[in-house]
Amino acid sequence: MRGTPVVLGIESSCDETGAGLVRDGRLLGHAVASSMDEHARFGGVVPEIAARAHVHSFTPVVHRALKEAGLRMSDVGAVAVTTGPGLSGALQVGLAGAKSLAYVLDVPLYGVHHLAGHVAADTLEHGPLPDPCVVLIVSGGHTSLLLVRDLARDPIVHLGDTLDDAAGECFDKVARVFGLPYPGGPAIDRTAREGDPGAVRFPRPLTGPRDDPYGFSFSGLKTAAARWAERHRGRALPVADGAAGLQEAVADVLTRKAVAACTAHGVGTLVVVGGVAANSRVRSLAEERCAAAGIALRVPPLRLCTDNGAMVAAIGDLLVRAGAAPAPLDVSIDPSAPLEYAALHPVARTGAGNVPA
């Protein structure tokens, strides 16, 4: 195909196997297979089960994405793959498959950072990111406030990160205490709709005048919710009110800090991404507070909030169009890679390292 190549993106960092196809910032097709049901009875993701599920799902998911896009494998002009962070075995499956495809097709391979993929997911719905913008990433393992300029070329500036439990992790752990199913985030969201968010006033961590203005800590909130549940031992637990109170506390902290960061840095756009960006209260409170502050809010559609191959393809597409160097032949994975650049090309012989685009 002439012009900018079609980029195939592969995501396998946790329990979703995703493939997506992007060209010139436009999503052509994508498919996702989740092994979540296999993990539910354990109350969390089991790495070995996730890795095996990726092995079984990789080829069917790629073929489904190609079919949705109306493309053939020979139309692919570049391959992008998540190289970190994530579960080691799961990442290895995706990288091995992506390397094989890039080799067979004789096209360049790009390693990308999983969290940068979440940021890029928004571009598939709303177009290029404003330069600069503030990005709030909220997922099961990560909660960060970032200052983003050119996502493909510039270093990503961390304004604040979680000090312990991430927001999604807090939801999962408290849901288990409340007797709700895994995954906890969607379960809390559904249950909270029947409750009163003002009935239980949970603490708002790190919101005091002397606290870290953009840092996050949800471990104490998790503990407060667990103790509240313990006080109801022997009598019916008002789960709906507890879920609503917990959700309100999380949404309050996230949106309060995000809007404050935009105001302090003179940034007119807030982008909220990641799995917890699908939470109904986080979305509605972000809309309310951004409108009051005169800040434009961008949130991807629900299908692009959770892990998917489209977001990886979106980053690959940005790297290709920016003229970034492809990954070396010995590119490996980094399960705990910090987010510094969108491109992530660790190599086994020297350890993990980010390669600027």
* Residue 126: burial class (beta carbons within 10 Å; 0-12, 13-18, 19+): middle
Question: pLDDT (tens digit, 9 = 90+) per residue, 258-283?
Answer: 999 999 999 999 999 999 999 999 99
Torsion region of 55: left, alpha or beta (phi above 0 gives left; psi -120 to 50 gives alpha): alpha
d(CA 188, CA 275): 13
Output Rg (C-alpha) for the chain, integer angstroms: 20
pLDDT surpassing 50 at residue 351: no
- pLDDT, residue 349, reads 62
As given in the structure block, the two tokens for residue 50 are 């996730």
- Split at pLDDT 50, 70, 90, the class of 2 is low
- Per-residue b/e over 10-32, b at no fewer than 16 CB within 10 Å? bbbbbbbbbbbbbbeeebbbbbb
d(CA 147, CA 137): 11
**β-strand pairing of 76-84 with 109-113:** parallel
* Mean pLDDT along residues 14-30: 97
Mean pLDDT of the residues in the chain: 95
Question: pLDDT (tens digit, 9 = 90+) per residue, 161-189?
Answer: 999 999 999 999 999 999 999 999 999 99
- What DSSP designation does 85 have? S
Q: Where are the beta strands (DSSP E) in the chain?
A: 6-11, 16-23, 26-34, 76-84, 109-113, 133-138, 143-148, 157-161, 269-273, 296-298
Phi first, then psi: give them for residue 60, nearest 5 degrees. Answer: -60, -35
Question: pLDDT (tens digit, 9 = 90+) per residue, 181-237?
Answer: 999 999 999 999 999 999 999 999 999 988 999 999 999 999 999 999 999 988 999
